[in-house]
Amino acid sequence: MSSKLIKRIFLILGLVLFGGVLYKLGWDELKTAMRQIGWWWFVIFSLAIVWQIFHTLAWHQILKFSNHRLPFINLFKLKIIAEAVNMIAPTANVGGDMTRAYLIKDQIPISDGISSVIVDKTLDNITKLLFNSVGLFLSVLFISIPTAWIWGSIAYLIFALIICIVLVWVQVRGVTGWVLKMANWIPRVKKELEKQKEKLASLDGNFKEIYSKGIKNLVYATACHLIGRTLGTVEIWLIMYLIGAPVSFMGAFFIATIVNIVMGALFLIPGQWGALEFATLFFVKLLGFTPEIGASLAVIRRIRRVAITGIGILFFYYYGDKAKINQAEKK
């Protein structure tokens, strides 16, 4: 069974789950929730833009260390494009990051673009691990969670920790040797990689440079990612208040943490369609609210994500036209 088929199956299952959430909510309940939000939609949408700005600032810090001071608005657009690609493409949340590395290649060397994206993604994963670990610990102390979910979450966090350690280790030790060793199993691939050895060596230099001399930038970038994730918790707290089901910030932290863990575990579903909604519905119910409240929260957050995706698609077409213009000018 091919990987594309597997991802399509996961997408179909996700959409079925999403449809089930909508059915559970009901059209009348959905309209009621939409009316309750009212003009606060602007605030919710603006909040999402602000946390994307902080995630962009993290990437900007990494590029700044490499002496690449690109217009911030361009980096922001690329981050939104990445979000859109991850939302609609079956690429296991990798396609969006590869897209921004590709689209930036006309402005900086491709090796610098790739290394900046990889380091940024690594820091984002480390921040996510820290955020979810603290959230799970506090949730266990103050909220009654099924034991099976606790152990499942711990297992996922251990797996995520191992992935983060491997990512950093490979970057610090050097990508070239590791990739070529892996390629020994496939001679044809090794032959092609040998031709790219110089570019791989350039990546190694970039990684070693920032991890040894760019500690200040790495700390700033990590802080920006952490602020961005915290604002996601604020969004949950605000929506719950607006739909008439106020929850403490700790409760919102719990929802954000567990939903993040479920979405991370089900990364094969493009955009986590259905996974986000089902997890939100289930864990809001643990806090003593009705399934309708959980479904309302999930659908409202999904609408916000779809809106950001629409903007990302528009930005993508803009960048596509700009790339064609640049190529024409070079000719």
Question: Tell me, what's the pLDDT at 20?
Answer: 58
Number of residues that make up the chain: 331
Domains in the chain: boundaries: 3-330
Which residue from 85, 91, 87, 79 is spatially nearest to 116, judged by alpha carbons? 79
Place of tokens 């918790």: 233
Q: Please check whether residue 111 is in contact with residue 63, taking contact to mean a CB–CB distance below 8 angstroms.
A: no
Q: Of 311, 315, 316, 284, give the one whose Cα is nearest residue 300.
A: 284
How far apart, in whole angstroms, are the C-alpha atoms of residue 331 and residue 327? Answer: 6
Reported pTM: 0.80
The residue type of 26 is G
Residue 311, phi then psi, degrees to nearest 5: -65, -40
CA torsion through residues 211, 213, 219, 224, sign? negative
The residue type of 315 is F
Q: State the residue for tokens 């640049």.
A: 326
What confidence score (pLDDT) does residue 310 get?
81
**Nearest residue to 10 (alpha-carbon basis) of 301, 265, 235:** 265
Structure tokens, 70: 């690109």
Residue 217 · residue 65 · CB < 8 Å: yes
In degrees, rounded to 5, the angle at the alpha carbon of residue 123 between the alpha carbons of residues 269 and 270 is 10
Residue 68 confidence (pLDDT):
82
| Whole-number Å distance between alpha carbons of 196 and 178 | 14
Nearest Cα neighbor of 21 from 284, 320, 314, 324 is 284
Work out the number of other CB atoms within 10 angstroms of the CB of residue 169.
Answer: 10
Cα angle for residues 60, 65, 71 (degrees, 5° grid): 35
Sign of CA dihedral 256, 262, 267, 273: negative
Task: Spell 187-222 as b/e; 16+ CB within 10 A means b.
Answer: eeeeeebeeeeeebebbbebbeebeeebeebbebbb
What angle is formed at CA 49 by the lines to CA 48 and CA 52, rounded to 5 degrees?
90
pLDDT of the chain, 331 residues: tens digit per residue: 454 554 455 456 545 655 655 555 556 666 676 777 888 889 999 999 999 999 999 999 999 988 888 889 999 999 998 888 877 765 556 777 888 888 887 788 877 888 888 899 999 989 999 998 888 888 888 777 778 878 888 888 898 899 889 888 888 887 766 666 655 665 665 565 566 666 667 777 888 888 989 899 999 999 999 999 999 999 999 999 998 889 988 889 988 888 888 777 766 666 666 667 777 877 888 888 888 888 888 888 888 887 888 888 788 877 655 544 344 344 4
Within 8 A by CB and 6+ apart from 79, the residues are 52, 55, 56, 59, 100
Residue 17's pLDDT is 53
